[in-house]
Structure 1
Amino acid sequence: MEIREDHINIHNFLPHREPMLMADYILELTKEKVVTSFEIKEDNIFVHHNEFVEAGLIENLAQTCSSILGQSFFENPDANTKVIGFITNIKKIEVFELPKTGNTIISKASLVSQFENICHIFCETFRDDVLLIRAEISLFIQELKS
């Protein structure tokens, strides 16, 4: 996958660090939608027998989803503000296939509803055109002061 200049390096905005950072770039971001990419490396803590396990897919989705509510903090790249999302509910989750090391996965999240810092989001992750996981997640987003 080609990374372009207009892709946002998510490392600058999530408080997660290795080994818990499960998203690399924000490829698209609107008020209702976010698309992220993540390359699965061999040394990832969620890789078992060359597969990225279910817990890794869920963490990737949660970090992707937090970008929708946290995007107001992305407007100023020099700001020293971080946000963290807490999963408050997973209404439904379906896992169809596990990706392998070396794969790049694309996660897409769409805002279903929002009340202040709480949001309900529908999300899916793909490897190429293959659907890997689908979920409905509720998140609470909190600003972390530096």
Structure 2
Amino acid sequence: MEIKENDNISIHQFLPHRAPMLMADNILELTKEKVVTSFEILENNIFVHNNEFVEAGLIENMAQTCSSILGQSFFENPEADTKVIGFITNIKKIEVFALPKVGDKIISKASLISQFENICNIFCETFNNDELLIRAEINLFIQEVKN
């Protein structure tokens, strides 16, 4: 599945997360190897402290962005009532440069480094306009939850 910039879709189609833990609003671009998401920082977000979106929120945003690459295979059939669960298994390297403020719209860009079945290694960077906020290499594991 490839999504072009003009075809923004709700990330709900690719992640099980819901408010208050949903930290990405839309998928701007999605292929089997990369994803770009957007997220507007709202005042009532659970990761906002003193008008800033704290490090834990940035990491959760990155993890949800990265999960979209691997998660899309579970949601190829929009009619299915698929439920998945995912875990960060490792953060190899993380660098935080700045924190966004309430009202900022951040863009996260993730690229698949490697994948073996439901385990993947992904590099992700998050920006506020042209300012790099955070970058990391994350390992994720996602599996379908059987009823």
TM interval, short-chain normalised: over 0.9
**Corresponding residue of 2:137:** 136
Corresponding pairs, count: 143
Measured after TM superposition, the shift of residue 12 of structure 1 is 3.3
2:27 aligned with 1:48: no
Q: Which amino acid aligns with 2:68?
A: S
Task: Using structure 1 for the length normalisation, give the TM-score.
Answer: 0.92
**Corresponding residue of 1:119:** 120
**Corresponding residue of 1:64:** 65
SS of the equivalent of 2:7 reads coil
RMSD of aligned residue pairs (Cα, Å): 1.4
4+ runs of 1 displaced by more than 3 Å? none
Measured after TM superposition, the shift of residue 103 of structure 1 is 0.6
> How much identity, in percent, do the aligned residues show?
83
- In the superposition, relative to structure 1, how do residues 122 and 45 fare at CA in structure 2: closer, same or farther (>3 Å)? same
**Within 2, Cα distance between the matches of 1:94 and 1:71?**
27
SS of the equivalent of 1:125 reads strand
**Within 1, Cα distance between the matches of 2:107 and 2:145?**
27
**Corresponding residue of 1:104:** 105
**Corresponding residue of 1:80:** 81
Consecutive unaligned residues of structure 1, counting only runs of 5 or more, are none
SS of the equivalent of 2:103 reads coil
Measured after TM superposition, the shift of residue 119 of structure 1 is 0.4
Consecutive unaligned residues of structure 2, counting only runs of 5 or more, are none
**Within 1, Cα distance between the matches of 2:62 and 2:85?**
13
